[in-house]
Every structure is written in structure tokens, then in C-alpha cells.
Structure 1
Amino acid sequence: MNDDVEQNDPMAVLEGQVWALAAVVATLREAAAGSLEAALAADPARTAVLEAAGVVRREGSDLVAAPAMRVGSASANAASARLSSMRQAVAAAGGEAPAGWDAQSDDVLLDQGRASAGTGHALATRLVPSLPGLAERLAVAGSRVLDIGTGTGALAVALAQDLPHAHVTGIDSLERAIRLARRELEGAGPAADRIELRHQDVVELRERDFYDLVWLPAPFLSDEVLRACLPLVAAALTEGGWLVAGTNPAPREPLLAAVANWTAARNGGSALTAERMTETLGDLGFQDLRRIPTVPGGPVFVAGRRPSRPAS
């Protein structure tokens, strides 16, 4: 009878999955301070949960982790991203947080921001060299990068560190996030001298022919804001400049798709997929469109070159 109860109790399974995710986050946090192997060996009971969840398997006496666990120096960023999601889920379960990022705690904002540092490094070191002409542009002193929705500034710092000639402007509609970003910038070293932070909504963007690269985190902006800001972003790019939008992969599982829509609605964001973003940029005239996956289950970059403007 107990077997029948367990098999027919989906809530028990879901609760177990929550604890499995907690085991993932705790292991990644420890791996960031040492190694994944040491973290797996430190708590055999916790590692047994990872095995049961399928993210770790045994091959003889060895433990082999799934690619999502083998993120190396990005372990802290991956843990922060999952921890931010878990904090928001707990708040939703307790009815503590209304919709919107402005209702999230400083801890959630900081976790989410620190998670974005890995995206910034990947953008600067992997994507920029692959986009025609962009690396050369950003190697010139005075080149400019716009970080939309900078949050607590971690992505802006990563860009400034990896693009030593570029000036990075980070804007965010949430004043509290900008205050946290300025505090975080105090530990950024010399790169902070090339970072400007502004409390500004992207729909108020008015620069023209100004930025060589614009980063747009689509999941953090509503569909309405995306529709309004994309023409402004196109106008703000220099001739031959690039827009790179971060998007989420289209979930194949119905549960994950439903969760993506719910979290987007709660936080005032968008569930726009890479495919839909590509179509949207194409409709706006962006050229040389391409989609670039990152890590398994991670964001998909959608890149496009600024549309040509007719000669006046």
C-alpha cells in the first residue's frame, strides 16, 4: 500500500525535486571554493541525492557529473542563478512577494546579478570574437557598450574586465538595483573607472549612432517594453554595431514551459524564445542574424547587426 501511495503522490515527487535542486546548489557553491570532486566527496548522502536525480552517475569507483554540473570556474555563477530562482519560488509559495523585480529582496537581486557575471564573460570572450568586425571595434579606446537592465552591475563589470578598451554604460529602471550596483562596483578594481551606471528605463533611450555593442536580457523585460525599445536600440547602435539579446531556450517539457510563463508574468518579464526573438529582429531589419547556445539548459544568444539606414 505504501508503494501505491508513493507512486500516486505527485506532490511528494515534486518536493523531492526541490531537495534535489537544493543539493545541486549546495554542491556547486562548494565546488566554487574548491573542486567539484571535493564537493561530491564531502557529503555522500547529498551526493546520493544527485545520483538519484540523474545529474551524477557512478562509473566503477568514480563519480561522473552531467555537463550542467561541470561548469568549472562558473560554479558560483550557476549556483547563484539557481539560488535566486529558489528564493523567488519560496516567496511565491509563501505569498510574500507580489509580481515584479522591484518587490524582490536585495539577496535575490544580488544572487541574480552575480549569476550574470558568467554571461558577461561568455559574451566578451566567446561571442564578441565571432561577430564580424566587433572585436576590432571594441579594441579601440572609447568604444562603447550598453548593458540594458544592468541590475547589480556584475555583467557590466565582466564586460569592462574582458574588454579593456571599452566604456560600459549600465542602465536599469530599478533605482534600488543601481544603488546595489554602485556598492558592488567598489570591489571591481580598475575596470570600475570605465563603467557608468544610470537609473534609466530603456524606453527612454535617446542616443543615436552611439554604441558598438548592446546587450539586451529579454527575459527581464516585458513584451510591451521589448516592442517599444527595440527600434530605439537599433537607432542607438553605430553603423555595423551589434545587438546581442539573451533569450531562454524553448522548454520541451510542458511543466517547464508553464513555469517559464508563470515566472515571466510574476516578474514582469518575457518568455520570448530565441526563435521568436530572431523573427522579431528580422522584421526590424537587423542583418546577419544568428543564434548561439551557451551551456546546456542555459540562455541562447541572438545576435544581429544594426539595420542599414538610408542615406539622408
Structure 2
Amino acid sequence: MSVSASASSASPLPHGRSPDPVAALEASTWVLAAVVGTMREALSAPLAEVLAGAPQRTAVLEAAGLVSWDGVTPVPHPSLVPADGPTGRGGVEARLSGLRQAVAAAAQDASAPAGGGWAELDDEVLLNQGRASAVTGRALATRVVPELPGLAERLGAPGGRVLDVGTGVGALAVAVARELPRVSVVGVDVFQRALDLARGELAAARDVADRISLRRQDVAELAERGAYDLVWLPAPFLAQEALESALPRLAEALRPGGWLVVGTNPPAGDPLRAAVAAWNAVRNGGNAYDTDRMADVLTAAGLDDVRRFPTVPGGPVLLAARHPDA
């Protein structure tokens, strides 16, 4: 739920240097609220107008180093400018979901037994977080697939198949199917409520719904062999035990020469971010593996030609690894 790395460097968290670090961190929460609110409004209005129309909020951004002035014209830091179209909307929705989860964590008794993670989130949060994954789906299909030897040809021919692990509300599956018009996509998830929401999302995606199938399944129990040309795995969302059980099965599910692409969190740049990332991941039923650890795990699972695809500064890194040819 953090601002991008470049924005964070403009206004570092004041740990240890402030006479009241808790108050300083509380102020940083409001900075992030100002960032998300501004970016959300800028999806439907010029950013300069949004900044001018909320002077108190903009003053917070200015104090954080995210806005400067050229006379009477506000000059936003580049990290404050949302991307165009669905990419920008997805990024804003993800940040908003992150804020909601932080509030939920603050209200939760940390000494109580671990909760159900994603199962405890309401439908609105699940939909917002899930729809944000469409950005990853488009990047996977348009940036990663063309760079992986032989994969674009496989997925451009009849019979190309993609497995979307942890499909959630199906946004990534829809995005992949739209960008790769000859593939069929199988989405699996253990969370029935997410699959119910996904079916509603598919009903609104009639152009690709006939090429997407959904099923409730624990990926650690996947038994298919040589069935897919591409498998997508959002590693941070699986508990460590489930992840370690699933990887050999996912490797077997690939056709020879097929590719497993794994979403990972980059190594944290400082102890605070590392601690926050680990808490957030485990609280939501995931694991604390970062990109470097996952690269080692993929090699140990018998996959080769591991490649890295950074997304945005400080954002997820997509790892790709190939099933050896027969």
C-alpha cells in the first residue's frame, strides 16, 4: 500500500529522527490518503484541476514533497500522475484496498488466532483488489509472453492453454483472454465466494467468457500433467506450505517447453518495508518469499531459464521459468 519508490524517497518515513515518531507516522498515513484521493479524482479530471480544487489536501502533498509550484501552477511529482485507462484505475483501486486492509489490521486483536485472510474481506474489497490484477494480465500477455522463447507461437495457435492460479474474481483471466484471442484460460481458486464474484464478472465479459472456465480447486492438489503452455502463479497469496506443495505439481502441469510465470514481491529496500510486507502477506494467508528466494525455489523444482521482468519501481517482479523440453 505504499507510494512508488521515487515518491517515498521524496518524503522518507521519519523513524528515529522525530521526537514523536508515532505522530509522524500517523501524518504519513494522511499523506497516503491524500495521494490515493488525488489520484482517484485525476482518473476523471485533469490533475491540475484536482490539485487546485482541494487546496488543503494539496498542501499536505506539497509538505510531503509530492507537489511544487511554478508560479500559481501546481507541478506534481511524476509518481502522483496516474496511468491512463484501466492501468491507472487498477493501481488506484489496489492502493485504496491496501488502505482498507491497514484499517482492518489496526482494528484486529493481534493476539487472537490468525484470521481467514482474504476470506474475511468484503465483496467490494475483493472486487477492487481483483480487478486491479487486470493490469498484471495485460502485462503478462503483451510484455512477458513475447519475450519468452516459443510461447507467443504456442498461444497464437489453436489449442493454446493458460492456467490462472488463484483466479479470484477472474480479472486477470479476462485480460489474458482479450489480449490472446486464441487461448483458453482455466481459472482455479479455493475461495468459493471469489469464484461466485468471478462468474458475475464473466457475465459482463461476453466477448471472452466462452474461452474461460472456472473451478474450485486447491492448487496443491492439482493432478494435470502436460496440460498448459503457460501457468500464472501469484506467489505472495499462497501460504508457504501450500506454495511448496504446489510448485512441483505446477511444473508437471506444463507442457514441455511451457512457461511458469510467478508474481513476486521484490526484496525490500529497508527493514520497515520488509516487516510491513511480511506482516501483510502472512496476515492475508500468504508467505514472505521475495523475488530472490522464489528464483531459487523455481530452479529447485526442475525449471530452467529463469528470467525477471520488473513492473514499476518498487512494484512486483514477474519471474518466468521454463519446463525443460522433452
Say whether the fold is shared (TM-score over 0.5): yes
Q: Determine which of 216, 238, 241 is the counterpart of 2:258.
A: 241
Of 164-173 and 58-67, deviating more is 58-67
Match of 2:108 in 1: 95
The 5 A counterparts of 1:172-251 are 172-251=189-268
Question: How far 1:42 sits from its partner (Å)?
Answer: 3.2
Amino acid at match of 1:262: W
Q: Quote the Cα distance in structure 2 between the aligned partners of 1:178 and 1:270.
A: 22
Q: TM-score with structure 2 length normalisation?
A: 0.88
Letter of the aligned partner of 1:253 in structure 2?
Answer: D
In 2 relative to 1, CA 155–42 (structure 1 residues): closer, same or farther, beyond 3 Å?
farther
Q: Is the 8 A contact 1:67 1:296 kept in 2?
A: no
1:68–1:296 CA contact under 8 A, matched in 2: no
TM-score normalised to the size of structure 1?
0.92
Determine what percentage of the aligned residue pairs are the same residue: 56
Q: Which structure 1 segments of 5+ residues have no match? A: 1-5
Relative to 1, partners in 2 of residues 1:210 and 1:14: Cα closer, same or farther, differing over 3 Å? Answer: same
Partners of 2:171 and 2:34 in 1: CA distance = 25
CA contact (8 A) 1:55 1:69 kept: no
Q: Which residue in the other structure is 1:15 paired with?
A: 26
Aligned to 1:45: 56
Q: Given the alignment, which residue of 139, 154, 175 partners 1:137?
A: 154
The aligned amino acid for 2:247 is L
For the aligned residues, what is the CA RMSD? 1.9
- Tell me if the contact between 1:148 and 1:172 (Cα under 8 Å) persists in the aligned partners: yes
What count of residue pairs does the alignment treat as equivalent? 304
Give the CA deviation at 1:32: 2.2
| Cα distance, 1:59 vs structure 2 | 5.0
Structure 1 residues 94-142: Cα deviation after superposition (integer angstroms, max 9, x where no partner): 1289342111111221121011111111111111111111111111122
Deviation per residue, 1:260-299 (Å, 9 max, x gap): 1111221110121111111111122211111110011211
One of 49, 66, 87 as aligned partner of 2:78: 66
Give the counterpart letter for 2:317 in structure 1.
Answer: V
Which of 58, 67, 91 lines up with 1:56 in the alignment?
67
Instruction: Verify: 1:82 aligned to 2:99, yes or no.
Output: no
Aligned to 2:9: none
Q: How far 1:145 moved relative to its partner? A: 0.6
Over 3 Å counting, the alpha-carbon distance change for 1:254 and 1:40 in structure 2 is same
* Equivalent pair of 1:152/1:181 in contact (CA under 8 Å): yes
Deviates more, 1:232-241 or 1:45-54: 45-54
